[in-house]
Structure 1
Amino acid sequence: MAAICVYCASGPVPRRFLDLAAELGSALAAAGHTVVSGGGNVSMMGSLATAARAAGGTTVGIIPGHLVAREAADTDSDELVITDTMRERKRLMEARADGFITLPGGIGTLEELFETWTGGFLGEHDKPVVLLDADGFYQPLLRWFDSLRDDGFVAAAAMDRLQVTGSVADAVTLVTQQ
């Protein structure tokens, strides 16, 4: 099946977000997909990977050496890759993935989403990019995107490259379609 890269929070978040990450990890594993993550075993990243393995899935964690202690490297990962830099981490995550799902997260998660989404729009890859807007988490951002499109700052074709859903099941389906 496919290798799906998931971007999500690595810092303290409310329980509902940990549960969401676990639900996605379980769903990806149940569908036979490998989970590619940032290689941390904390917060949503840890919940995602732990749930995927508990459901019989395979996980690949990619983490820069300087974050091994801070994000508690996922040493239970089926494959743990330690990189020299964040740029190398992101490059390998993109290279190893057949598609991308972004869960709720902060500036690091948003940066990964924007880079992957932009790369797809610019033709650097043709992999699906899915934003999982659970409980309307991303609604303020999506409204801003609409205003950027309306004002001509973002092309409609760029908006079409970002698939948005509020459902874990739909995210798993969308990320494997292209």
Structure 2
Amino acid sequence: MDEGQRQCLTFWLLDTMFALPITVVQEVLQDVRITPIPKTPDFLEGVMNLRGRIVPVVDLKKKFAMAHTPHTEDTAVVVVCIPFENRELLAGIRVDGVESVRSFAETALCPPPQMGVPVPLDFLEAILLEEDQVLLFLNIARIFTRSELRDVRRAEKGKDGGEADDPS
């Protein structure tokens, strides 16, 4: 890849296209069985079995307070690495559909506007205007608070997310 290029996975939530750096994406899965976990935040859909590893799954539409829509054949789980406390948490993020892996020129990216986007500005790294649409570049490290990442870590370890059995 040329210097000055950013390679990203693009995906849809409702009618909005998002991008994540390919460096944080592990894989994309279709038709995933999710097991709900009691006493976890609303956006934490549950956990999945990824080749013997418990991986929490986050519903990004709930996290972004977007409208709920039923799952379709295009619904997917993007497995990502989230930096947290000097290590990486593996998590799945539920999306409405995966578009493609694409490269973008760094010079084409713009800072996010101060309003008019469907997610909190802190979650965005950049935007790109493309023909008749706007592409929103997410910063996976900014999407979750420390407390939420602790909940994700507890789910990854198989705990119920309750405070009573977490000594930290």
The TM-score, its normalising length taken from structure 2, stands at 0.24
Answer 1 or 2: which has greater strand percent: 2
Larger Rg: 2
The TM-score, its normalising length taken from structure 1, stands at 0.23
